[in-house]
Amino acid sequence: MISPRRKSALGWRLGIVLSVGLVGTLLGAVCYGQIFRAARSWPAWHDQQVYWNLTEPLRRMMAGESSQTPVQFEQWSAVALQHPNVVRVALLGRNEQVVASAPPGPFSLRQDRRGSEQPFRIFRRPARGSVDHQDVLEIALLVQNKPLPEASAYRSPSYWPIAVMIVAATAGAAVWQWRLWEGPLQHFLRRAQLHLGMQPVTLRGEEIAEGFEALLDHVNALRRDAVHYYDLTQQLQKQIDSRIAVETRQITSRLRRMEKQAVTDPLTGLHNRQVLEQQWPELFRVHAENAADLCVVMIDLDNFKPLNDTLGHAAGDELLKVTGELLRSCAGEEDLAIRLGGDEFLLVLTNVGTAAALPRIKRLIQLFAQHGQTLAIRQPPTMSVGLAGRLDMHASDPTELIAAADAALYLAKRQGKNTLQIAQLRSSYPGGVSPEFAPATPAVP
């Protein structure tokens, strides 16, 4: 019992052989038709060439192209009439008028009738010249309408032997071509089976088609698996990218919070000492290079310890928060508000001198004192402030300006607290600082 696949393979082979044979037969028939046509037209072409050569000496003589002795019409006609097929010769002038003919007599052009059944036909050839002072335009030959003896030897070839040879050659070529394909196909199948991990089997004939179908099924299965694994890989990659993006955002957010916490006082929300150490030297350098003024304000809270002891640490923390809010409201976008630790604070006011900074600092002291009056305590908290300007102190070093502001704060604490002291050069005031208000006098009456 022949399997459907084997039937398909046999039909495929037979179709190839028949197709190649049919194409070869058609090509052979076309080639033979051309050969047969040429063979049949050979006698007529041969006769035409013979008559052409026969009239060539006379044409050359009349055209003046011959270097030999001129040929006379009588001499040439005598030679031409010796040809077995030539009956009469003539020279034609204008309007097909007969200029000369041999043998003498009428020459009728009506005998030029095409057809193998006519006994005679006329061969005409253009030739320009003159004979006996008359213009000649053509040379005409009246010839018998039969092939020349030497042309009759050419016979048309037989069709069937050539056709049989072509068909046989085509069939042999088809079989040989199939054998030529079978070896490379077997080698290809064997290599493919080994590469794909299949058991190599030698196949012949129609089994090659089955082998190719099995190989194609295996390749298609591998392709489906590859597409499936590719889709899984893409999904996994998307999940990984999404998870990495989420974790990256979380880590970035945590880092920003940690960075902010590292430079921010958790209680008051102000900058801590680390910001002062990082930004203060560069800030001072920029102002010094641009000859701009800069103020440092050192702040210390008065009576803070009695507040903690009387109202508790919660009240102290609340006071520190209020102080942070007041300092943020006093500082600009480019200023620094820093908690140094405990109840000590520092303000850096950029691009302002002591004269411009005084109203802001007085307002700060007044607002803090008003808040302290609201607390139920015998000694309400107040604020002592030391102020130092860069241009006033002629400071060339950032630590020098902070030290001057700290010295002014120390003097304010010694002179009764709740005061503002402005640092000046020793040449301007013997103590190194000058009081803005009298000792022990409140900053805000």
pLDDT, greater one: 156 or 57: 57
Q: Are 301 and 383 in contact, with CB atoms under 8 Å apart?
A: yes
What is the full DSSP assignment across 143-181?
EESS--HHHHT--PPPHHHHHHHHHHHHHHHHHHHHHHH
Between these two residues, 19 and 87, which has the higher pLDDT value? 87
Query: For the segment 380-393, what is each residue's pLDDT rounded down to a tens digit?
Result: 999 999 999 999 99
Three-class SS state of 77 = helix
User: Residue 144's pLDDT is what?
Assistant: 74
Is pTM, for the whole model, over 0.75?
no
Q: pLDDT at residue 53 above 90?
A: no
Q: What's the mean pLDDT in 54-59?
A: 77
Residue 351: pLDDT above 90? yes
Percent of the chain with pLDDT over 70: 66
Residue 118 in this model has a pLDDT that exceeds 60: yes
Report whether 296 contacts 373 (CB < 8 A). no
* 154 vs 157: CA distance, rounded Å: 9
Residues forming a β-bridge with 350:
294
Which among 305, 307, 327 is positioned nearest to 380, based on CA atoms? 307
Q: 95: pLDDT confidence band, cut at 50, 70 and 90? A: confident
Give me the long-range contacts of 215-222 (CB less than 8 A, separation at least 24).
Answer: 215/189, 222/196
